[in-house]
């Protein structure tokens, strides 16, 4: 059975106007290829037809941009004209409910289809010349778990400890502060700060462990703070003809950095600081101060969606000035 047909416009759709419709800036960013990329969702035989993948991905992107839960997103898609138009629904189309959005996100998680979406968007951005590959900035941030951490037993208690609802979350430490949750690691293109690589791990994983996966291999330099420098990584970057721009750190043999390394670190810090704004966007605008899901796989999908949403918004800012988007 074929997926349901959406977006057949009527006279009422043509007469309706929306001031905050941002479709013109998005249409060339790879979303149109998602329907073919992810394939048909409706199974064989009789029964209700499924929503195509493309409008559902667009719905999830809207949820990320506006920091909405699935029930809130369902209401906004139903009521807001700009949401309907961006997702591809006409005024007469039935829009997906929150359970449909939830099941589709699980589908993206289970089959890792979100990776295909992310890669296709970045391929389109590279074709537009927005991914320059002059340098990659790497960094990581803690993401607090959606559930409460397991309770510490009282002194002298011998029984089993009640686990947290999120069994994948772990304890991590930033300075003197302990955080229960996950870590998001990203590799960002230096020119327009577009996200090229995403890794999500337990909070207990150190920043340096997934760092090699954040470096694409085709950039001219790699920038990172002191947590990322190792002699082995320096050797790998040198062998790949990638300039090592990782900040040096003191060790037991050299407890004090020489002045030239201190100056080098300050110069690198000015460049790599641009990556930190990505995490501020995720936490303040996309509602990711606390994760919503209770598994590493589901939270990874949410982080990948956030990276897709951020890259598309950054593309609009780079290619379409506000005056052009209003025209």
C-beta of residue 57 within 8 angstroms of C-beta of residue 34: yes
Q: Which domain holds residue 217?
A: 132-153+162-292
Does residue 303 sit within a domain? no
Verify that 138 and 267 share a domain, yes or no.
yes
Which comes out higher in pLDDT, residue 34 or 276?
276
Kindly report which listed range (19-28, 220-229, 280-289) carries the lowest average pLDDT score.
Answer: 19-28
In the 8-state DSSP scheme, what is residue 217? S
In a domain, 327, yes or no: no
Q: Note the pLDDT of residue 327.
A: 46
Query: What is the C-alpha separation between 239 and 212, in angstroms, rounded?
Result: 13
My answer on whether 149 and 238 are in the same domain is: yes
Confidence category of residue 101, pLDDT binned at 50, 70, 90: very high
141: helix, coil or strand? strand
CB < 8 Å & 24+ apart, contacts of 87-91: 87/55, 87/58, 87/59, 87/62, 88/6, 88/7, 88/54, 88/55, 88/58, 89/6, 89/7, 89/55, 90/6, 90/7, 90/8, 90/9, 90/10, 90/13, 91/10, 91/12, 91/13, 91/16
Which residue has tokens 């003191």? 250
Specify the pLDDT at position 306.
96
Q: How confident is the model at residue 97 (pLDDT cuts 50, 70, 90)?
A: very high
Phi-psi map region of 67: left, alpha, beta (phi>0 left; psi -120 to 50 alpha): left
Over range 253-267, report the average pLDDT.
Answer: 87
Instruction: Kindly indicate the confidence band of residue 1, based on its pLDDT and cuts at 50, 70 and 90.
Output: very low
- pLDDT tens-digit map of 139-181: 999 999 988 888 766 666 666 667 788 889 999 988 888 999 9
* CATH code of the domain covering residue 148: 3.30.420
Q: Which of 49, 77, 111 is the last residue of a domain?
A: 111
Q: Same domain for 69 and 179?
A: no
What is the structure's pLDDT at 30?
59
Q: Which two tokens stand for residue 325?
A: 């988007």
Total domains present in the chain: 2
pLDDT at 191 over 80: yes
Flag whether 67 is in a domain: yes
Is the pLDDT reported for residue 8 higher than 70? no
pLDDT at 44: 56
> For position 258, what pLDDT does the model report?
86
- Same-domain pairing of 224 and 136: yes
Q: Is residue 38 part of a domain?
A: yes
Residues 33, 66: one domain? Answer: yes
**pTM of the entire predicted model:** 0.85
CA dihedral sign of residues 192, 196, 202, 206: negative
* Joined tokens for residue 132: 């320059």
What's the pLDDT at 29? 56
Q: Which residue has the higher pLDDT, 22 or 54?
A: 54
Which of the two residues, 16 and 212, has the higher pLDDT score?
A: 212
Q: How many CB atoms lie within 10 A of CB 276?
A: 13
| Crossing angle of the two packed helices 53-66 and 296-319, in degrees rounded to 10 | 80
* 101 and 171 within one domain: no
Q: pLDDT at position 151, please?
A: 76
User: pLDDT-based confidence at 256, cuts 50/70/90?
Assistant: confident
Taking alpha carbons only, the member of 61, 37, 33, 47 closest to residue 1 is 47
Over residues 57-72, mean pLDDT: 93
Query: Is 244 a member of any domain?
Result: yes
Q: Are residues 97 and 233 in the same domain?
A: no
Question: Does 123 fall in a domain?
Answer: no
What mean pLDDT do residues 220-245 have? 93
């Amino acid at each position: 059975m074929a997926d349901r047909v959406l977006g057949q416009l009527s006279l009422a759709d043509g007469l309706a106007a929306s001031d905050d419709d941002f479709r013109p800036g998005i249409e060339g960013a790879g979303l149109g290829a998602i329907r073919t990329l992810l394939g048909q969702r409706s199974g064989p035989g009789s029964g209700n037809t499924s929503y195509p993948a493309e409008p559902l991905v667009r719905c999830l992107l809207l949820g990320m941009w506006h920091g909405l839960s699935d029930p809130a997103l369902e209401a906004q898609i139903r009521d807001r004209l700009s949401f309907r138009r961006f997702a591809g629904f006409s005024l007469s189309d039935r829009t997906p409910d929150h359970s449909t959005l939830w099941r589709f996100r699980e589908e993206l998680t289970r089959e890792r289809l979100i990776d295909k979406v992310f890669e296709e968007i970045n391929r389109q951005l590279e074709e537009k010349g927005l991914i320059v590959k002059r340098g990659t900035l790497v960094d990581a941030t803690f993401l607090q778990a959606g559930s409460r951490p397991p309770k510490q037993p009282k002194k002298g208690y011998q029984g089993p400890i009640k686990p947290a609802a999120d069994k994948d979350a772990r304890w991590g430490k930033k300075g003197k502060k302990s955080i229960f949750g996950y870590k998001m690691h990203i590799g960002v293109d230096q020119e327009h700060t577009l996200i090229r690589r995403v890794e999500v791990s337990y909070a207990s994983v150190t920043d340096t462990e997934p760092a090699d996966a954040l470096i694409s291999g085709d950039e001219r330099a790699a920038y990172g703070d002191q947590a990322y420098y190792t002699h082995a990584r320096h050797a790998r970057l040198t062998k790949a003809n990638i300039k090592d721009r990782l900040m040096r750190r003191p060790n037991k043999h050299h407890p004090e950095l020489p002045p030239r390394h201190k100056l080098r670190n300050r110069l690198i810090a000015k460049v790599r600081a641009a990556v930190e704004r990505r995490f501020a966007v995720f936490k303040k605008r996309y509602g990711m101060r606390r994760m919503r899901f209770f598994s590493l796989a589901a939270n990874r999908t949410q982080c990948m969606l956030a990276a897709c949403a951020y890259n598309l918004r950054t593309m609009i800012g780079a290619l379409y000035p506000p005056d052009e988007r209003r025209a």
